[in-house]
């Protein structure tokens, strides 16, 4: 999969590296902005079932 992504990206090696870094940053940003808060709301860690 990563080889296919590397072949699809245009330009010389330095440009491909920059594009991969931008793509990784965009994925991390999307995870922290939308995915992780949604998962946290679904799991609801405040309501625990273990009593002391």
Task: Give the tens place of pLDDT for each residue, 10-40.
Answer: 999 999 999 999 999 999 999 999 999 999 8
Q: Is 49 a member of any domain? A: no
Q: Is 48 a member of any domain? A: no
Q: Is 52 a member of any domain? A: no
The gap from C-alpha 23 to its chain's centroid, in whole angstroms, comes to 9
Nearest to 42 by CA among 30, 52, 34, 50: 34
What does the pLDDT read at residue 29? 98
Model confidence, pTM: 0.73
Q: Is 51 a member of any domain? A: no
Domain that holds residue 26: 2-43
What does the pLDDT read at residue 27? 97
Contact 6, 16 (CB under 8 A): yes
What does the pLDDT read at residue 43? 82
What does the pLDDT read at residue 46? 73
Higher pLDDT, 45 or 3: 3
What are the structure tokens assigned to 16, written together?
């491909």
Compute and round to an integer the Cα radius of gyration of the chain: 19
Count: domains in the chain: 1
CA atoms within 13 A on the CB side of 32: 6
């Amino acid at each position: 999969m990563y080889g296919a992504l590397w072949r699809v990206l245009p330009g010389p090696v330095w440009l491909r590296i920059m594009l991969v870094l931008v793509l990784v940053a965009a994925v991390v940003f999307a995870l922290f902005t939308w995915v992780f808060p949604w998962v946290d709301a679904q799991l609801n860690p405040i309501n625990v079932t273990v009593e002391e």
